[in-house]
Amino acid sequence: MESERFVKGVAGGVLALWFLGMLAASVMGGFDSAGRPPIFLGVAAVLPVGVFLVCLRRVRGFREFVLRRDEGWLTIAHAWRIGGIVFLILWAKGMLPGVFAWSAGLGDMAIGVTAPVVAWGVGRRWRLPRWVVVGWHVAGILDLVVAVVLGTLSSESSIGILADGVTTRVLGLFPMSLIPTFFVPLLQILHLAVLAGYRRKGYFLD
């Protein structure tokens, strides 16, 4: 019990420091990639997921803490992704390219709308087939990965081959920069935590 409280406290502290760090860097314009590849933005989106996977594999106490989390709560957290509609709003205002906005917006909205159903489906009252739950989490991961790739290829830089007048530069500006630097990797981690729990239990399919 003491170990559980300690790991929970450390995890909460790291989460808070991570958010505050990204908030400070965003406010100071650290992720504005005007005219250059969005390297810092990419690192901020990928590094936390890598650290999580390493700790999950190497740190036993952390692994046990993660695997004890309620998968229903880890799933319902994705309901906020209904807010992906903001990408479509920014596209309509000419602030984001359609190739990114439509993919990221509709993908996030689909995951957000179905999150409560899937979360309910892993509860005690009603069980969805495990392959449905696993497939949903995999789809959620792919949606975020595709969004990062399209966002990079639509950036205001030499690698922005999909940019056509309008770029994804706004994603490097506060407050939008908090999405790729904090919320995207956090949601990836939540997906991976559920899949790790399923793997631990020995089932991905019924």
pLDDT digits (tens, 9 = 90+) for 11-39: 889 999 999 999 999 999 989 877 677 88
pLDDT band at 124 (very low <50, low <70, confident <90, very high): low
pLDDT computed for residue 203 by the predictor: 54
* 105-114 tens-digit pLDDT: 999 999 999 9
CA angle 45, 167, 91 (to 5 degrees): 95
Verify cis geometry, omega within 30 degrees of 0, for the bond prior to 48: no
* 46-88 tens-digit pLDDT: 999 999 999 999 988 888 888 888 888 999 999 999 999 999 9
pLDDT computed for residue 205 by the predictor: 46
pLDDT band at 164 (very low <50, low <70, confident <90, very high): confident
Residue linked to tokens 């696993």: 134
Phi, psi of 158 (to 5 degrees): -65, -20
pTM for the model stands at 0.91
